[in-house]
Every structure is written in C-alpha cells, then in structure tokens.
Structure 1
Amino acid sequence: MVDGMANPLPLADSADRDARGSLARIALWVLLFYLAAFFKPVGDLLFEGAMADSDDFLRLHEVMNWMAGQGWYDVSVPRMNWPAGADMHWSRLVDVPIALLAALAGLFTEPVTALRIAALIWPVLVLFATLLTIIAITERIWPQANRLLVVLFALSNIAALELSVPGRIDHHNVQALLIYTAILGLVSRDRPWALPLTGVSITLSLVIGLDNLALVLLLLFWLGLAWALGLRHASATLRQIGLWMGLSLAVLYPVSLPPSAWLTPYCDAISVVYLTLIGLIALCFVALSLVDRFLGAMSPVAAIATRLASGGLAGGGSALIFWKSFPQCMAGPLSAVSPELSERWLSTIFEAQGLIDFANRFGAAHYAVPLFIGVMLASTALLAWRGLLPARALPILAILAIGLVLSFFQIRALRMVVFATVPFCVIFADLIARRVAATVRLAKPARLALTALLCLPLFPTVWSVAADLALPSSDAPPPSPAVAAADEVGSADPDENAVTCNKASQFALLASLPGGTVFNDLNTGPAILVFTPHTIIGGNYHRNERAILDTEDFFEADSETAREIARRRKADYLVYCRAGKARTAREFAATSQTRQPMEKRLLLGNEPAWLERLSASSDLLKVYRIR
C-alpha cells in the first residue's frame, strides 16, 4: 500500500476543483435529484404529514412536546402507555436542529406546516453533510476524484438513501453521518482538526443512541490492533482519539442526563454504564500510546509482541472492571429485555434480524448488497496488494468489513456502512476510464459509452435489480382457493399493500372523535399521537414491556379475552392499520377456521359484536368504538 498522499497514477487533466464540482453545483444536483426521486413523498409529507416510519412520528412528537414546554431531560411520552406514560431512552440532542428548523419555519407559516417543513429539510441537510463528508474522504485517498462522480455513486445507492427519505428524522441518519466524520478524521490525520473530529464523533454517536455500539467498538478495536501491529502514526492516533473521547464525554454527559441520574445504570442509553465504558477505552488508548516510548531498540517482532501483550492486558482488565461493575449489561443495550418480550416482539422486528433470517423471510435477492460489498472489499484488497491504494484508505476498508460482518447479526448495519463503498467505486471508475482511454481506439462517444457499460457493476442497485430478476422473492406455494378469497378483502382500495397508515386524512375520523384512550397496533401508535389528541396504549419501544405484551396478547387472543384486556386498559377505541397486511390475511385464511384471534377477525372483516365499526370497510385505518 502506498503511504501518505502518494499516488502511483498521474492526476487526471489539469482542470481545477471547481470544474470537478463546486459546492454550489453539488447542492443543486442533490436538490434536483431529491425532488425527482422523492417527488410523491415530499408532497405527502407537506400536505398530509406522511412519514416513512413510526420512529419518525415519535421523534416529531418528542419535538412537539419539547416545544410545548416539556423539560430538556424529560423525554418520556405521557400519552403513550396510558395512564402511566411511556419511558423512553432517546436523546434530546437530535430534537434541537428539528425544533430550530420548525421555529424558523413557524415565522412564516402555521405550526403544523412548520413541523412538516422541518421534517422535510432536516434529512436533506443530513444527506448533504454526509455527501460532503464522503467527498472529502474520497479526495483524501484519491485526490483526482471527480466530486460529481462521488455524488452519482452515492445518490444511486438505494440502500443508503433509506436514511434520507422525506421525513426521516429519527437518529439513525445522524449516527451514520458521525461514523463517516470519524472516518474522515482518520484518513486526514495529518490535519490538526482530524483526530479531535474522530474522537468527538465517536462519543457523540454513542450519546445519541447505542444502535451502532457494536460498530463503534469494533472500529476502536481495529484502531488498537493497528497500533499493536505498528502501523505508522498509530500511537499518536490512539492518544489523540482517547483524549478527545474523554473530553467530549465530559461535556456531553451532563447535557444528556440530569445530575440525579448521573449514577443510575441504564443498559440502553447513555448512563454511568457507558460513561465507564467510554472512559475505560479512552484511558486505555492514552496509556497504550505511551508504551512506544519504552520499546527502545526492540526488534519489530518483539515490539509487536509487546504491544499485543500490553493491549491484551489493558483490554482484558477494562473488560473485567466493566463486567464486575455492570454484569446486568453484558448482553448489550437490550440486556433488560425479558425473554418473553424478546421472543414475542423483538425477534419480529425486521431491522434487528440477521442477514440470513432476513433473506429467508423476504427472498434471497437481499444477499445482493452484502455480496456487492464483499466483492468491493476483495477487489480493493487486490488494489492495495498491487500498490495502487494509499495506506490512508485502511479505515474505510475497516468500517466496510466491520459492517459486512455485523450485518449477519443485524441487517441494519448495512445501511450504516454502504456509503463506504463510494470512494472505491470512484477509484475503480477512474481506473476503468484510464484503461479504456489508453487501450481502446474508438471515437470519444463510443469510449464514453463503453466506460459507462464497464462501470455498471460498480452500482449496488444493478446488483439488486439483477438479483430480483434472477432469484425468487418467496418460496411460498400458490394460494389455495381460501387464500385467494382472502385477497379480495378490501381489494377495492388501491393502497392495499401500503407499508403503513401515515397520512393525516387517514386519521381524520379518529381525530374528530371525543378524547379517549386508543388500543392500537404497535406501528400505528406514534402517528396517532401526532395526528390526534387521544392517548394510546402501545408502541414499539422496549422499556414499555407491559404495554407491548398487552397489545400482542390482545391481537392474538380470542374475542372474550381481548375484551377483558381492553377493559383492564380502559380503552375507548380500537385502531388497526390494515395496510401491508394482504400477506397476513392470506396466511390467516389458510389456517384453521376454529381459531379466531382478534387480528384474524379484524383482517377478514369479522369483528365481534362488542366492537362498533366507525370507519368505512375500505379504509386502511380501521376505527372501532369499544362497547
């Protein structure tokens, strides 16, 4: 591998950086692409308040509560898990930019529209910041990179763009951005701001949420391993990152927790648990960086052995301290989740499933993106072996490999790291263009067409489309007559297979009813909080175990048992979103006719007499009054 900024290939042409893509041109292209790609979702958000995920609705509700006077440290949801209220583990930090955007928009429009404008602008800003970070990373390892080519590869990456759809205001896109700013610091370590940026980004990412805890820990482990193997500048890198992790934690910890909670151990959010963990890692990094001073004239092999031993002792000792201090959290952020909740609820959340389980359920075509990442890793390793890749590219390779491994445990790791393929796609495209220009004697348009054709495998979307065409999406047998009949339930509605009930007009009937408590399916709960004044029972948030299990019990129970659960929870209404349930209806229709759980009865339009249907039979959002 070539060290530093050296590059064995000459710079392409003498065009200046502006010709390769100024910030203004990049912003224009991103905006035009965004409006074209998400034209309908943008309109649905602005005019209907529609967002893609229940987490986005809950984030918006948190912002609304804070702007209405809820305390900075109080991130509970009083109207969920009524009457006790829902305890939440989210950070208030992500609410700040969204609230600021809403307040600014509120100077020119009414509050509801202002919040929708904020929910539209925020993911665009995060996407633009992420793209600028990817551009900077690419230029650090391949100085002649064309910025617009970086944008092209990034914006054509559908898997990564899931984090940037209109209304995507949960914290995952911010965490992905922080991962890339941390990588930018590592590939720019010769700049004075670089390693401080890495240390602060790592800490801030964990303070915002622990979804990427495993990703961060493995990245830190790789940094320690790079030091142990004697990579150039690794000692100074450890020291700087350790110092800045500690300093940033000292600032962010009191901002995130009130003094009364500083010593309360939470496994699922920033607390004394992760204060200890981050502090131990930071201390180890600083201490290990001093070991090199005592290596003296050791041989390279002896020096590596000494570093490995020192790192093992420091890491093992830290792990022992952490285990003895917080044994209840050794299974990770969801350690407090009971076995029952894990089996009945957590195991059904798709993004928390491993790659193999996910592909088994939704089709083998979902192996396409991981396969693309694996091929990119192997191809880039070949580049490095041939000396065509600078050593500063190692952190990008590391995060890509880490994400690929973690995807076998949680599929959502892929969307965090798939943008890391972009720098290597740009490099391969540049090499292909050079080879075609040097060896193919064709007219320029023909050369460009050939280059474009040869570059098609560099787009993960091409892999996904090819996999969709070549591989079956499901192994389900042809439907029986009973199953086919179930497909006719509500078939007049063109949105039968919609992912969710997420538009204000769908909730207008419910919002017009007298205030009360709603028994709801878990995914629809946060939207009810945003669109109506009602209180609700459940939501997909693990700290509220009883509410989740009561909801699961209700929809799995027979009519009389479900009625008793509704009475115990003092529910006035039942709301059930039928969107996307066509497959479930088919499965229910194919099961025994003697078992009639509530969900089956609702899907097939056979609700019990103690439910008064208020919504039309064709409505996706089913609304009932509980008698």
Structure 2
Amino acid sequence: MTFPNLLESFRPDGERAGAGWLLRIVLLFSALAIAAQIGAHLSTYKDFIGPDPDDVMRLVEVRDWLGGQSWFDLHQYRMGPPGGMLMHWSRFVDAPIGGLILLFGLFVGPDTAEAAAAFVWPLALILPLMAGIGLGAYRLGGKPAVVIGLALAFMFLFTMMRFRPGGLDHHNVQLAVVALLAACLLDPQARARSFAAAGGLSAFALAIGAETTPLIAVAAMGVALVWAVRGQDYRRAAIAFGLAFAGFAALFFFATTPHALWGRVTCDTLSIGFLSIALIGGAGLAAAAGFASQRGPLWRWGSLALLGALAGLVALFVAPECLGNPLSSLDPMVQDLWLGSISEAQPIGKQFEVSPDAIGGIYGVGLIALGVALFRIWRGEQVLAYSLLAGLIAISWIVSAIQVRGMIFTNLLSVMPLSVIVADLRAHYLAHRNEPKAAIAFILAALASVPSVWAFSGAAVTIAVNRVSGASSEEKEDEDKPACIRKDSLAEVSKLPPGRILTAFNAGPAILRFTPHAVLTGNYHRNAKGLLDGLRMATSDPAVAAALMEADKVGYVLLCMDDPQVETLREKFPNGFWARLARGEIPEFLEPVEASGDPRMKIFRVIR
C-alpha cells in the first residue's frame, strides 16, 4: 500500500487502531528512516566513526573498558594532567556498543568489529524513537496523526547526524528515551504500567546524562500536579511513576557508581545529589498518592506542597551547587576562550548575532507546537495530556534559549502536537477540496512543522538580502578533515615514544584513538585544569608555557595549523606561544620532529 493510500484509508475521527497496525506502521517508517540514514552515510563517507569528537571519545572509552578497565572506573587516564580525568559518561551506553564489538569480533577482526558496531548501534535506536513518536501521536490524534507524526519524525531524523552510522555519542539514546517517556505520559487511561515505564525511563535518562534533567523534573512535577487535580483517577498512575522513578534511580546509581563516590555530589551525573531528590520525590509522591487520593483536594495539594518543600530542602542541603549552571565554576579564561567558542553551548542572543538565518529552525517549530498545545488546552481538548506535553516542550525551549543544544529535544517533542494539527487540517482540506484556504492552511502547517524548512528558508532569505544589499555571502567549501584528526596524518606521530601532547582541543580524542599518546586537553568540562593549563600555554610567553609544560609533564607540542581554535588563538594572542611557533619562532626548549609529511601540522619534542 502506497503512502497516499495509507492516508486515504484513515478516517479523520481518530478510530482506534490495534497494536499490530501500530507496530507495522512504526516498522515501515523505521525501515525508511534507516535506509535514508545509510544512504546519507555512504554518500558522504569519510570514516566509520561520526564526525563529532564525542563519537571518537566514546569509542576510546569503550576500548578502555573492553581492554580491562573496571566497569566502575570512568577515568580517562590519557587525557588531562598526570593522573588523567574522571569522565561523566555512563557505562549504560558503553555496554551495548561494547557488546556489539564483542559479538562481531567472533567473526571478523577488531577494526571491522568496531566498524560494524558503530554502523549498527545508532540505526538500532531509530526504532524506539519512532515507536515513541508513533504511540504518542496515536494517543493524541489517532491513526491520521500517527502517519503524519512518523513522516515528520522521518524528516527530523534525516537532518540528524546522531542517528547515522558512526554516531556513538549518547544524545541519540537520550532522544529515543525522551520520545518513549512522552508517549507513556500521554496514556489516556492512566494505566499503572505506562506510568511505571515513564518513571523507569525518567531514571534511565538521568543515568545517561544530565542534559535531560530539566525535562525529567518537569515530567515528575507534571505527574504530581495531574494527580493533585484528578485524585483517585490518577492514584495508581502516580504510585507507579513514583515507585519506579525512585527504585530505578537507586538501581542505576548503585549499578554504575563506585563505592568511593557514593557520597560525592556531581551535577553532570546521577550522583547522590540527584539520587536523594529522586528518592524523596518519587517515594514521597507514591506515599502521598496512596494516602491522600480519596481525602479531597486540600489533602492532595497540601501533601504535594509538603513534598515539594521537602524535596527543595534536600536539594539545598545535599546539592546546592546543582541548582545553578554547573559550567559557571569554570575559570573565566576557559569560559571565554573555550566555552564561548562552542556553537551548541550558545544562548539565543548569540545565535541572533552569528546565525540569524538559523533562528527559525532552532526556535520556530517549538513555539508553534507550544501554541498548538496551549490552544488545545484552552478549548478543553485532552487537557491533561496537552498540559504534560506543553510543559515538556516549554522547558526544552527554555533550555535551548540558554544553550542551543536543547533544540533537538524541543523539535522532537514538537512532532506530537504538530502531527495532530496537520492531520486535522488535512481532514478539513479533504472535506472542503474546493476551498483554496483549506489547502493553503494544510500545506503551510505541514511545512512549518519541519525544522529544516525553516533552516533552508532562513538561508535563502539571508543570501537574497546579501545579494540585494551587495554584502558578501561567504560560503565555505566542504573541506577535508583537519590534519590533526586524520589517521594517515597521525600515523608517524603514533610511532614516537608515548608522551603527553599539547594540541588543539578538538584533536584530543583522535590522538587517543589513533596513537598511544596522552593529551592534555579535550572538549570536556571535567578536565578543568587541563583546559586552563592548555589555554595558558597556548597564549602565554614561551617561557611561561615552558614552566607549565614542565609541571604537567608535556612531552610534545602538536601545532594544528588548520584547526579553528589554533587560528583564533593566534589572532587574539599574536605574541603567544602558538602564534610565535606558527611563525617559525622555535624556543630553545623545543626541537622539531619530522613525523608527518602533512604541512598543516607541526610536531615538536619538549627538551628537558
């Protein structure tokens, strides 16, 4: 059956579909999305690992674990000053990737096994994401919304590098978890099993990474508020969510946290800080629902207020540092020269300055989806479901306004309410084929629901304005990888006696992957001392740099002439160490090493 025939066969009244039909349609769109991702990957293939340095770093972490490093030991001993750094990533993502490598390793060599695992893992995550979108759209708008929602999800995935082969970073896992979580919360029957699954998924999201913490907080508060409003109708749902959230949070904490770190508060992992709040909030909600569901609104709201105050006190006393931005503790120099240069960490104001053409694609779809949800609430249509969804979209949008990386969650969650409005407008068009306004409304709604349409439109408008005004519109051609992250360029470097290398931050993971060397820096905030020392070395007088390198036991300096960070620091600090080295001013404590024929990179040995 073709896609148009599928659409034509669905009545706009949102008739009930069986689980079998929903599974088939999810599998169909998942297969289409997987095929599209494979095609995009092969058409631009350069490496079996994704282009994001985090993809490379995940492979390094998995290799270390498979090489004998303890499940509970997340230290990256080859990054940072002597002694290494403690990473904040979860073994729950390392485990399936490592398992696939071991499985494929039974039949092929190590390199091929890694390539096969990197190929399969991100594609496999498309199915749970599509399942979440399909189920959520169905619960909001029936069959027509499912087809529209999965089509929108397909287009969302097509522009996402996270789900292409090689995408090992954990953000694809988080997106799949968030899609399933939202779908579970939208259960119109408020079944205990749906909300228990939502509680478990919320705990799992916290265990994977702290980026979703605001989302999980809003989801938990949403369940609590819905229970306070509906009382007995949501008693079992609230109890199931609370117990699952608290229980699984404890399980995941003890399953991944070494005993020595049980009492240490960290704000970027599921530490004792988040665990305390999850235990108090989850168990407290279950207890309140069990005790006060039949005792009237004052009892419910009173117990909820008491629970909120208790959770707030726990947060203040156990983890006050986690109530703010965890990156604010970084040295001002690191914030300015490193964090300020990371595009995904920029706020909305900075986006207006540097990429006004991208504003629509980042923020437009979320605002429309939020408006649709609020409109439905105002009309009294599925008020509780749309209220929960509106809360999730709103907090994701706020996070994206602070750091643009949050937009992926906003655009994902927006698919669910937008699928309903597009399906409704399509039904209206089919019923009024002779009215041009109906067709225009349907087409515009469909186009406005796709972030890439906003992005392409913004780029087109910018180019047109620049041409009319005579302003230059520089377009960078697709360049090859910088030399310092290429395997062939690093081949000779890997033959040098192992030592710690001072180099550009982006090159760190690649050096760990392709060579036996250690690196001082990488784009990870946990390596605060390494980041600060690296920037001081790069920008200071050579004599100061030499003293810092002696303290951090740096054995080599790898200057990546085509790395954006190197170019920026050379311009900002023309008398700094890297700028002088690029001009050929080699200090007496360095000696050139003929280790690469690539003119874009220069390596020097530190003389002690």
- Shared fold per TM-score greater than 0.5: yes
Instruction: State the distance in 1 between where 2:448 and 2:324 align.
Output: 39
How far did 1:68 drift?
A: 0.8
Question: Do 1:516 and 1:534's aligned partners in 2 also have CA atoms closer than 8 Å?
Answer: yes
| Residues 1:114 and 1:619: Cα distance change in structure 2 (over 3 Å) | farther
Measure how far apart 1:99 and its partner are. 0.4
Corresponding letter in the other structure for 1:36 = G
Aligned residue for 1:457?
448
Distance 2:478 2:158 in 1: 24
Cα drift, residue 366 of structure 1: 2.5
Aligned to 1:75: 74
1:597 paired to 2:576: yes
3-state secondary structure, aligned to 2:425: helix
* Unpaired runs of at least 5, structure 2: 1-9
Q: Is 2:26–2:134's contact at 8 Å kept on the other side of the alignment?
A: no
Post-superposition shift, 1:312?
Answer: 2.5
Corresponding residue to 1:356 among 314, 324, 349? 349
Identity %: 24
Aligned equivalents of 2:483, 2:232: Cα separation in 1: 51
CA distance in 1 between counterparts of 2:314 and 2:384 reads: 35
- Shift in alpha-carbon separation, 1:457–1:501, aligned structure 2, 3 A: farther
- Alpha-carbon RMSD: 3.8
**1:158 positional shift:** 6.2
Deviations 1:217-268 (A, max 9, x none): 1222233333334478344332211111122123222211233332333343
Q: Which residue of 2 aligns with 1:128?
A: 127
Aligned to 2:172: 173
Q: Give CA-to-partner distance per residue, 1:106-159, whole Å, 9 cap, x none.
A: 122211221122122111111222112111111122221365543321122269
1:406 to 399, 405, 415: 399
Distance 2:115 2:43 in 1: 15
1: CA distance, partners of 2:375 / 2:435: 29
**TM-score of the superposed pair, with normalisation by structure 2:** 0.85
Q: In structure 1, what is the Cα distance between the partners aligned to 2:128 and 2:257?
A: 28
Query: In structure 2, what is the Cα distance between the partners aligned to 1:422 and 1:27?
Result: 16
> Where do residues 358-377 of structure 1 align in structure 2 (5 Å cutoff)?
358-363=351-356, 365-377=358-370
Counterpart residue type for residue 490 of structure 2: F
Tell me, in whole angstroms, the C-alpha distance in 2 between the residues paired with 1:177 and 1:556: 42
Q: What is the deviation of 1:173?
A: 1.8
Q: State the 1:60 CA deviation.
A: 0.8
Contact 1:158 1:461 in 2 (8 A): no
* Contact preservation (8 Å) 1:361, 1:474: no
Partner of 1:575: 558
Q: 1:448 to 1:324 in 2, by over 3 A?
A: closer
1:142-291 alignment, distance < 5 Å: 142-145=141-144, 147-157=146-156, 161-188=160-187, 190-230=190-230, 233-290=233-290
Return the alpha-carbon distance in structure 2 between the equivalents of residues 422 and 586 of structure 1: 39
CA displacement, residues 7-56 of structure 1 (integer Å, 9 cap, x when unaligned): 99524899997599545533431222112223245x3233xxx4222222
In structure 1, what is the Cα distance between the partners aligned to 2:569 and 2:515? Answer: 32
Residues in 1 aligned to 2:292 and 2:76: alpha-carbon distance in whole angstroms: 51
Per the alignment, in what secondary structure is the counterpart of residue 92 of structure 2?
coil
Which residue identity lines up with residue 41 of structure 2 in the other structure?
A: F
2:139 aligns with 140
**Superposed displacement of residue 78, structure 1:** 1.4
Give the residue type in structure 2 aligned to 1:400: I
Q: For the residues of structure 2 that align with 1:171 and 1:252, how far apart are their CA atoms?
A: 16
Q: Secondary structure at the match of 1:249?
A: helix
Tell me if the contact between 1:52 and 1:502 (Cα under 8 Å) persists in the aligned partners. no
Taking the aligned partners of 2:348 and 2:553, their CA distance within structure 1 comes to 40
Q: CA-to-partner distance for each residue in 1:472-494, whole Å, 9 max, x for gaps? A: 7999x9999xxx9xx9xxx9xx7
Count of residues in correspondence between the two structures:
591
> Do the aligned partners of 2:490 and 2:596 also contact (CA within 8 Å) in 1?
no
Asked if 1:554 corresponds to 2:537, the answer is yes
Unaligned runs of 5+ in 1: 1-6, 297-302
Matched position secondary structure for 2:523: coil
Q: Distance in 2 between matches of 1:282 and 1:431?
A: 37
| From 374, 377, 385, the counterpart of 1:381 | 374
Inter-CA distance 213–20: structure 2 relative to 1 (3 Å threshold): closer
Partner of 2:34: 31
How much does 1:306 deviate?
Answer: 5.2
CA contact (8 A) 1:518 1:573 kept: yes
Distance 1:320 1:452, change over 3 A: closer
CA distance in 2, matches of 1:165, 1:601: 40
Per-residue deviation, 1:553: 0.6
For the 8 Å contact 1:574–1:625, the answer to whether it is kept is yes
* Whole-Å separation in 1 of the counterparts to 2:493 and 2:291: 66
Q: Does 1:608 align with 2:586?
A: yes
Q: 1:430 aligns with which of 411, 415, 423?
A: 423
C-alpha deviations, 1:514-569, integer Å up to 9, x for none?
33321121221111111111122122223332211111111112333333333443
Deviates more, 1:186-195 or 1:130-139: 186-195
Q: For residue 270 of structure 2, what is the amino acid of its counterpart?
A: I
Please say if residues 520 and 538 of structure 1, whose CA atoms lie closer than 8 Å, have aligned partners that are also in contact.
Answer: yes
Tell me which residue corresponds to 1:545.
528
Measured against aligned partners, the alpha-carbon deviations of 1:85-119 in whole angstroms (never above 9, x if no partner) come to 22222221211000011111212221122112212
C-alpha deviation, 1:615, in angstroms: 6.5
Shift of 1:69: 0.8
Change (3 A) 1:322 1:380: closer
Number of the residue aligned with 2:518: 535
Using a 3 Å threshold, how does the CA distance of structure 1 residues 432 and 623 change in structure 2: closer, same or farther?
Answer: farther
Q: Is the 8 A contact 1:219 1:402 kept in 2?
A: no
**How has the CA–CA distance of structure 1 residues 262 and 335 changed in structure 2, closer, same or farther, with 3 Å as cutoff?**
farther
How many Å apart are 1:454 and its aligned residue?
6.1
- The amino acid of 1:365's aligned partner reads A
